[in-house]
Amino acid sequence: MNPPDSDLMAHAVRMVIPMKREFGRTLDVHQFLHDLPYATEVIQEALNSKDERLRGYAAYAQTKIFGPRNSAPPSPPAAADSPATPTASAAPAASPAPAASAAGETEISEELRAQAIARYRSGLR
């Protein structure tokens, strides 16, 4: 890892106590920041935690260390199961879907456009 990022270090420090409580693991922050295999192991363990905050810290650390493109997808088993099921049910409903989806897409795109404009206006001060 390049020079230590203060946000990443803060998240790693916040992970120390929950990791000790839930897994009985002592987290070495210095090693976490400089040793990629160790960080990967700790992050994978923390992502399986019952504590929502610990999972959030691990997800943040994962994106900071590995980058958003190299981080693992949140739920690969669900993605693997879903393509097999929709193909059988998608074939019969192919003809009425385009008309319904076109109206839905414009409604959604207008809503997203309105949200983007609202965010833009709130940032102008």
d(CA 93, CA 98): 10
Q: Where are the domains of the chain?
A: 6-66, 95-125
Is 71 in contact with 62 (CB distance < 8 Å)? Answer: yes
pLDDT of residue 102: 54
b/e code 61-77 from CB counts within 10 Å (16+ = b):
bbebbeeeeeeeeeeee
d(CA 23, CA 9): 20
pTM of the model: 0.51
pLDDT of residue 90: 47
Per-residue pLDDT of the chain (125 residues; tens, 9 = 90+): 445 578 888 999 999 999 999 999 899 999 998 889 999 999 999 999 999 999 999 999 998 888 766 555 444 444 444 455 444 444 444 444 455 555 556 667 777 778 777 777 766 55
Which amino acid would we find at residue 87?
Answer: T
Instruction: Locate 88 and state its tokens.
Output: 């059988």
pLDDT of residue 89: 45
